[in-house]
Amino acid sequence: MFYSKLRKTNIEEYQNAIKEYDSEVSLMRELCEALYLTRKESIEQIQDVSHLINSIANTPKSFKDDFAEIHVHVNKFKNVVEYVNEALKQAKISGGISGAGVAAGAGMAALGPSAAMAIATTFGTASTGTAIASLSGAAATNAALAWLGGGALAVKGGGMAAGKALLAMAGPIGWTIAGASIAVSGVFLSRKNKKIAEEAHDQTKKVIEAKNGMVITNKKIHEQNRLTISHKDSITQSLHRLQKYHGVDYSTINNEVKIQFGALVNNTKSLAKLLDMIIE
């Protein structure tokens, strides 16, 4: 039969591309959840540093200014967590996710809140492009619901918005790539061999493009986590060295130790900035 061999080859290529895509989806989920855990641990460490600095009398005014900035970043991270919790609650109450469709809603239920939270704190934007953490009240809830719905579903090679990442992790590739929901038992088998071969080839290109975008994004997430862990480990070492100065008067500390405290505060500020740094 004409084109039967080409049809078989192209369908196999499509299925292999789907497997590679699914592998990157699984990796993205793991990386997002690892970064989320690192950031939660970082907040605990920032609190330890804050507790130490607050116990010391007569610290420089610059320390207070630095910690005011640190708390801004910490609060942004916590706000994203609160907004997504609210969005998940609203979605559960309403029986679905606004604008997401039945498939996406089912995918969200299967994905679970921890994975959704991991994605939200990794990508951090509503589907409109507005930072969730910059909103409040009903606007925050609506934006979070829109984000959970995924917004525009077309995936581009250079990266993806949080909503698209959410849907990519929540279920079949057909939810994230427009037109890529071909099933071998469905559309493929209802067409002639040449048409099937052409469609399989076209869809394979879309899947590969989406996978390549995920590869780039996954590298960014991994690097973000590595950098955060590096800062966190450095602060852990400083805390161990300086904990013995808990409750002392800063004016009685020698200059070398003061320099160490200054470095600790600066490193803590750098770590805090990484908390709400989003992947684009």
pLDDT attached to residue 26 = 81
For residue 221, the one-letter residue type is I
The values of phi and psi at residue 57, to 5°, are: -80, 150
pLDDT tens digits for range 177-214: 333 444 444 445 545 777 778 888 888 887 888 788 88
Q: What is the pLDDT of residues 59-115, one digit of tens each?
A: 999 999 999 999 999 998 888 787 777 666 655 655 544 444 444 444 444 556 777
Q: Quote the DSSP letter at residue 32.
A: H
Tens of pLDDT, residue by residue over 19-64, are 888 788 888 888 989 999 999 999 999 999 999 999 999 999 999 9
Give the model's confidence band at 7: pLDDT under 50 very low, under 70 low, under 90 confident, else very high. Answer: confident
The whole-angstrom separation of Cα 213 and Cα 60 is: 46
- Distances from the Cα of 83 to the Cα of 77, 141, 218, angstroms: 10, 6, 24
Distance of alpha carbon 170 from its chain centroid, rounded? 13
Q: Give pLDDT, residue 263.
A: 96
Q: What is the pTM of this model?
A: 0.77
Instruction: Determine which of 130-134, 198-202, 203-207, 224-228 has the lowest per-residue pLDDT on average.
Output: 130-134
Does residue 85 sit in helix, strand or coil? helix
d(CA 52, CA 168): 42
User: CA of 112: how far to CAs of 47, 70, 92, 116, 220, in Å?
Assistant: 28, 30, 11, 6, 24
> DSSP labels for 178-233?
TT----TTTTGGGS-HHHHHHHHHHHHHHHHHHHHHHHHHHHHHHHHHHHHHHHHH
Task: Look at residue 44 in the predicted model and tell me its pLDDT.
Answer: 95
pLDDT of residue 142 exceeding 80: no
Query: What pLDDT was estimated at residue 217?
Result: 86
